[in-house]
A and B are shown apart, each in its own frame.
Chain A
Amino acid sequence: MFRRILVANRGEIAVRIMNTCRDMDIESVAVYSDADEKSLHVIRADRSVCIGDPRPSESYLNIDKIIKAALETGAEAIHPGYGFLAENPGLAEACEQNGITFIGPPPSVIRDLGDKTVARRIMIGNGVPVIPGMTGPAKDPGLLEKEAEKIGYPVMIKAAAGGGGRGMRIVRDPAELGEAAISASSEAEKAFSSGEIYLEKYIEEPRHVEFQVLGDSHGAVIHLFERECSVQRRHQKIIEESPSPALDPDLRERMGRAALNAASAAGYVNAGTVEFLLDAKGNFYFLEVNTRLQVEHPVTEMITGLDLVRHQVMIAAGEPLMLKQADVVPRGHALECRIYAEDPEKGFMPCPGRIDFMKDPSGPGVRVDSGIYSGCTVPVDYDPILSKVIVHSESRECSINRMINALSDYPVIGVETPISFLIDILDSEPFRQGDTCTDFIERVFPDWSPCNGHDIEACAAYIIRELAGGVKNDTGHEQARGIPTPWQTLGNWRM
């Protein structure tokens, strides 16, 4: 087993991976840019290596620096987390060349599945249903026009080299195709260093349902059931859950088998996710395989009771899968909300800055994967994910209430978060009914603004604090004052 693992990532996922390393008695090595010197993942690691310039290309995306850090610290394996280099075959290859184990699939698999058009071709050849669309990327406007006519509008432009909403555009009107293609290609170039795009039929009101798979290096593959990730904003997932309210046992079985077919067809090793779109009639179509541990993996961990990172490490160390399909039994219902440093009142503009105060929610069935602490600074240079709140309970209804309560007890002051928006989504009738598909937010919350239901209580708190000396002084002690403060006459509690 590895004695030391370097985590080539930052923020909440780096912290989470290091937690499992600690559980397994494996030393963790953090890498950090100058902007992350005081980050939680650095504090939590056993060792840390500074990789300099905050720009992603010079730090977390810099393969040479990452490899150098691993060699310097004697790390035997590298866990790439998600984003950054997780789906870059270059890192996996560099690991191989330097005698370091990459915790993930082999570079050839990453490469094949990382090219969305190659992935589609593999699936088509193996009987996995796919969305009608182009099998190869193209940039020529004339060709794109012809393909769009063939597929039939509305069409979706997608980036061949990556997902997460980057380089995606929906086109309903042929006249918009040209400009949309240029814009999508440019965004894709920035995000994935490749401006290659292709077209697919746009499926109306789809649900996004994905299956977690685990494959070992001896050919065995199992799935760990599904996650539904339909509540998205600009194609970025914000709420995920399992089980999906739309799956009955039969559909689950068929989709599970398709996910296994997809994974086997690609020769998949380690943890991955097979994504499908599910339409209202119960037809499902392969979307893509994500060759990494995903942001929303905790949802699966909660319903199966498994530690996915632990299995990733074991598989990477050459161990055969410890579980057979029949051993995986899901239980209860889990929900996850992603907490970003974004202002929902200002078009979700990212708002980096210092977190003056925060307090994690807690309680039975409440898990918080966090990368922040009171007083830390959220840098401008990276994706603004702060943390994830995950709840698990016996039923979907219980989970929704549990999540609303957890979010209501999760103050984050100093940067804005969409917590208020998330609470409204969770409490809405359509969400409680399980009526979720990928245009949920446009349909149900096109013009959201926060409610003011607690303004009286906020005013009371403000006045009480002012009378006690004001929050500016914030020492937590009573301030000595000449005039008797009203709180001396208040009940029995005092601090």
Chain B
Amino acid sequence: MKGAWAWQRLTATTVAVFVMSGVAACGQNEFTYIRDREGTTYFKVPSSFSKVDSYPIDLFLNGHDPASAAAAEARNRVWSTAFDRAEEPNAAHLLGSAEPFVYATVHKLDDEERGWVSLNRLRDFFLPVTKERRAMLAEQAQAFGQQPPFTNFELLLDEPVTRDGGRGVHVRFNYRFKDTVQTFDLTSLLDEAGDTVSALVISCQTQCFQARMAEIDRIKDSFKLIRLPG
């Protein structure tokens, strides 16, 4: 009799678990969860963001010719993804958009890069942030007799970050690009072994950024490195 009661309880529990999980599984997820190729870096963006092709951004940042061998080699070492909140998602929205844009990348460093990587390098990982870097770029532009594309740099935040065994920086800055002021939020982390740099860039026009600060912070805070046990 007692055994029968135990069995009934077990059945009831099983059915309940199935019903609950079924109900739970029926809904739509609030976030999209993203992991890099190796599974070492992960974060989440709200489901309202759409995924866009991030390869043009990679090319823009490293300046490679898409047909070059360097570009192909970089493709092996660099993983990236991009999400756009805009109605019509576009990779160009990274540099100027009224809606938030998320760009994440993971670089495997080669030996040379491993040698010179530093917090300043991490700050300059996306756009020139440090004074030296900005000065150097300005000089280069002057030398070529060109107007630098990004002007009116304003540093809003600069703090070191230690997260999941990795360390890095979190910087937030403004740049003027084609008449609009864009705010960039960069979290740049070097993993514990010093082999990989993971970076997350969230960009938006300044007003938009201020309006959506909470959402942007949540995305930024979800950016994590995996830490294997042992």
Q: Please determine whether chains A and B interact with each other in the same assembly.
A: no
| Residues of A that sit less than 8 Å from B by CB | none
| Residues of B that sit less than 8 Å from A by CB | none
